[in-house]
Structure formats: C-alpha cells, structure tokens
Amino acid sequence: MNFGIEFWALTFDFVGKVLIAITALLAHKILIKEKTLDKIVLKEMKLELSAGFLGVMFLIIGYLLHLKVING
C-alpha cells in the first residue's frame, strides 16, 4: 500500500468526520437517557441517533471505497 499525501488527507478527513459524528451521537444518547425532554423531542432525537449511526456506516464504506480507488 502506498501511503502518499492523498491517503493521509483521506484518512485525516475520515477520522475527523467520524469523531464529530460520534460526539454528536453520544450527546444524543445522554439526552435520551435523561428523559427530561418532551416525548416529541425524544422521539425526534431517537430518529436522529439512528440516522447518525447510518451516516457513520456510510462514512466507513466511503473510506474503504476511496482506499480501493487510490490503490487501483
């Protein structure tokens, strides 16, 4: 595997996005557990949590596909 500048740029971009996503997901999870919000807001946050996990999966798949393109 060739570790050129494109690989490192892609890797740092991926790690940064995943860290931001995980931070947001953890914040949602904490708020959902506290249950101090309205039922409507809690339902919406659960939906956002599910969408966030799906988004992280897309980031992982996209990263793997980019690696495949870089390495030919």
How far is it, in rounded angstroms, from Cα 13 to Cα 15? 6
Q: What total of structural domains would you count in the chain? A: 1
Range of the domain at 47: 5-71
Tokens 């495949």 belong to which residue? 68
Q: Is a pLDDT exceeding 70 seen at residue 1?
A: no
**Is there a contact between 2 and 71 (Cβ–Cβ < 8 Å)?**
yes
Torsion 37-39-43-46 (CA) sign: positive
Q: Taking the complete model, does pTM exceed 0.85, yes or no?
A: no
pLDDT digits (tens, 9 = 90+) for 7-66: 999 999 999 999 999 999 999 888 888 878 888 888 898 899 999 999 999 999 999 999
Between the CA of residue 2 and those of 48, 59, 69, what are the distances in Å?
37, 21, 12
